[in-house]
């Protein structure tokens, strides 16, 4: 499925209130188009399928510790991009995990790439960001996919506003440093950011001449500032 990602950081109120949305994508078959705003029947916008209500990607600082046996666990519960990277990335050379410090650095680099540059997140682009941002060329998409086949899709999901959470005391690395299997998951609280947006004619038309063409343009104006609101990625991380 395509991933509609929020580039701007000054639209929090509009996103939270559901007043900024993509309204020209097809609704789910058999379901009515949900209403927005002060609707009389109080439709729950948190699970609205269409219009598509985007959510901004999140991240927070993560930390790990040794519980006393030589393994590495999370110091608390964490959610967002850094948590996802910490829980999933693996070094292809020695099989070790990404450090908490590098997970934070890399998350910030990736968010900047999406928000500031609107850059692609193909395999090659992700590998380049990892090498430059975390300074660890051993961490690669190919090695990480061996641990988690859904890594690239998961990364795009986080960038599209879905919330990935890792519980406190989750094992990141086993005794000896080998990366442990991913312990986190996307939470039900992130359902708001999900949508049955598919690669359809409606999406194509929206990107070409509809609302997404306006939201993804550098000339989109919000609160007196011109800048693109969204960037849309395909399943392979290329820009649509």
**Considering the chain, what is the average pLDDT of its residues?**
84
- Rounded distance, CA 22 to CA 83, Å? 29
- Rounded distance, CA 153 to CA 104, Å? 20
Question: Which pTM was predicted?
Answer: 0.86
Please state the rounded mean pLDDT for residues 150-174.
Answer: 93
Q: Tell me the per-residue pLDDT of 173-220, one tens digit each, with 9 for 90 and over.
A: 999 889 999 999 988 655 445 554 666 778 888 899 999 999 999 999
**Beta-carbon neighbour count of residue 209 at 10 Å?**
11
Q: Tell me the per-residue pLDDT of 96-120, one tens digit each, with 9 for 90 and over.
A: 888 999 899 999 999 999 999 999 9
> What phi and psi values does residue 88 have, to the nearest 5 degrees?
-120, -30
How far apart, in Å, are the Cα atoms of 78 and each of 49, 84, 168, 179?
A: 27, 9, 7, 18
Check pLDDT > 70 for residue 170.
Answer: yes
Residue-level pLDDT at 148:
73
Choose the most confident range, by mean pLDDT, from 11-20, 28-37, 140-149: 11-20
Are 170 and 183 in contact, with CB atoms under 8 Å apart? yes
Check pLDDT > 90 for residue 54.
Answer: no
Are 90 and 130 in contact, with CB atoms under 8 Å apart? no
Q: Work out the percent of the chain whose per-residue pLDDT is above 90.
A: 54
pLDDT band at residue 18 under the 50/70/90 scheme:
confident
- Rounded distance, CA 150 to CA 72, Å? 23
188: helix, coil or strand? helix
């Amino acid at each position: 499925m395509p991933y509609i990602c929020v580039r701007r950081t000054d639209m929090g109120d509009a996103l939270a209130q559901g007043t900024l949305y993509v309204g020209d994508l097809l609704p789910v078959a058999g379901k009515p188009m949900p209403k927005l705003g002060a609707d009389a029947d109080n439709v729950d916008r948190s699970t609205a399928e269409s219009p598509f209500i985007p959510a901004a990607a999140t991240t927070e600082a993560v930390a790990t510790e040794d519980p006393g046996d030589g393994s590495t666990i999370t110091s608390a519960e964490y959610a967002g991009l850094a948590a996802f990277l910490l829980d999933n990335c693996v070094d292809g050379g020695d099989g070790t995990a990404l450090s908490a410090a590098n997970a934070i650095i890399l998350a910030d680099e990736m968010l900047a790439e999406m928000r500031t540059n609107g850059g692609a997140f193909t395999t090659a682009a992700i590998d380049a960001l990892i090498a430059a941002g975390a300074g660890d060329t051993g961490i690669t998409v190919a090695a990480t996919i061996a641990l988690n086949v859904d890594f690239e899709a998961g990364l795009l999901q986080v960038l599209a506003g879905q919330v990935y959470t890792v519980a406190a005391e989750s094992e990141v690395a086993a005794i000896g440093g080998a990366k442990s299997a991913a312990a986190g998951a996307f939470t039900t609280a992130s359902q708001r950011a999900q949508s049955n947006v598919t690669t359809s004619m409606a999406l194509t038309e929206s990107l070409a001449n509809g609302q997404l063409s306006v939201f993804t343009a550098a000339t989109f104006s919000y609160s007196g500032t011109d800048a693109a609101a969204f960037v849309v990625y395909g399943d392979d991380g290329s820009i649509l």
